[in-house]
């Protein structure tokens, strides 16, 4: 019998701890599939963050580091400087990357570090129980913005891709979403292109993935997908912000 589908070798057999309807699982699979397709599994070294994907080191079937909160880009810098021939990536959430780790991500991009970051933006702190993130939308209720995020006291949601695209060392910056099959295919393509930028030694690359958090948003998985489309995507427009000419 012909095999028509197989689970990627880029993921371990360990069942993930993610909530039902969470899109981390899809994003893990995309990253793992691309690594497998590009023959990177034996060579890759990944860095897991602190947040919902803290246990990513149990799921990606490659050598992994678990970093302190926000410091994954610094840890990846250390790894890549020692092993410039290895493929190095970080996998970070929005609390990790857009709040406590802004200095690390900005300066890794600024130095043009040759690794790739997968940035999962679900507009909330998931692991700690649904607190406000810098990416939380105006009016969005969280456990630390119980009356809805107020622009006057907490500012507007931070747009990391737009910010990082202003930095010359960031050679590939794209925002994608995993809300429907078409966008999932686009997300996979963006991840592949970002990996290629690293492998060709061009510099830093980041793919921001808009993701859902039904548990902490207080929505069903289907409602969460709709909220992502209706509320998140208008504020966080999808698309490429930077790429080297050769990749276009």
Partner 1 sequence: MTKVLMKGNEAVGAAAIAAGCHYFFGYPITPQSEVPEYMSRELPKVGGAYVQAESEVAAINMVYGAAGSGARVMTSSSSPGIALKQEGISYCAGAELPCVIVDMMRGGPGLGTIQPAQGDYFLATRGGGNGDYRLIVLAPADVQELVDLVMEGFDLADLYRTPVMILGDGMIGQMMEPVEFRYQPRTDLPDKDWATRGKGKGKQRNVINSLYLQAEELEKHNHKLQAKYAKIRENEKKVEEYNVEGADLVITAYGTTSRIAKTAITKLEKEGYKVGMIRPISLYPFPNEAFEKIGENCKGVLTVEMSTGQMIDDVKISLQGRIPTYFHGRSGGMVPEPEEIVEKVKEILGGDR
**Nearest CA among 200, 242, 190, 188 for reference residue 87:** 200
Could you identify the residue written with the tokens 């700690």? Answer: 128
CB of 27 to partner 1, least distance (A): 20
Main-chain dihedrals φ then ψ at residue 236, nearest 5 degrees: -110, 80
Binding positions for partner 1, 58-77, rule CB under 8 A: 58, 61-68, 71, 74-77
CB atoms within 10 A of CB 131: 16
45 binding partner 1? (CB under 8 A)? yes
Task: Please give the full DSSP string across 73-103, using - where no structure is assigned.
Answer: HHHHHHHHHH-TTSEEEEEEEHHIIIIITHH
Q: Is 184 in the site for partner 1 (CB under 8 A)?
A: no
Q: How far is the CB of 12 from partner 1 (least distance, A)?
A: 8
215 in contact with partner 1 (CB under 8 A): no
Contact call for residue 207 and partner 1 (CB under 8 A):
no
Say if residues 204 and 169 touch (Cβ distance below 8 Å).
yes
- With binding defined as CB under 8 A, does residue 14 bind partner 1? no
Looking at 104, 174, 193, 208, which residue binds partner 1 (CB under 8 A)? 104
Residues forming contacts to partner 1 in the complex (CB under 8 A) are 41-45, 47, 54-55, 57-58, 61-68, 71, 74-83, 86-87, 103-104, 106-107, 110-111
């Amino acid at each position: 019998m012909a095999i028509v589908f197989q689970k990627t070798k880029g993921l371990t057999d360990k069942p993930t701890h993610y909530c039902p309807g969470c899109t981390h699982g899809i994003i893990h699979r995309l990253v793992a599939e691309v690594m497998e397709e590009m023959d990177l599994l034996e060579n890759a070294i990944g860095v897991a963050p602190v947040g919902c994907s803290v246990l990513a080191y149990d799921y990606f079937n490659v050598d992994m580091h678990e970093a302190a909160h926000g410091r994954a880009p610094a840890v990846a810098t250390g790894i890549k400087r020692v092993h410039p021939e290895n493929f190095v990536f970080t996998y970070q959430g929005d609390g990790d990357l857009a709040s406590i780790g802004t200095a690390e991500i900005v300066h890794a991009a600024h130095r043009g570090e040759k690794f790739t970051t997968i940035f999962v933006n679900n507009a909330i702190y998931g692991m700690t129980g649904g607190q406000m993130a810098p990416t939380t939308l105006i009016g969005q209720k969280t456990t630390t913005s119980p009356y809805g995020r107020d622009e006057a006291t907490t500012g507007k949601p931070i747009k990391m891709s737009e910010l990082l695209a202003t930095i010359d060392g960031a050679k590939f910056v794209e925002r994608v979403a995993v809300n429907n099959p078409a966008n999932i295919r686009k997300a996979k393509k963006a991840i592949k292109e970002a990996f290629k930028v690293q492998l060709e030694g061009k510099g830093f690359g980041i793919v921001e993935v808009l993701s859902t958090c039904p548990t902490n948003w207080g929505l069903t998985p289907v409602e969460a997908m709709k909220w992502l489309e209706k509320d998140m995507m208008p504020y966080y427009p999808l698309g490429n912000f930077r790429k080297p000419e050769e990749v276009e």
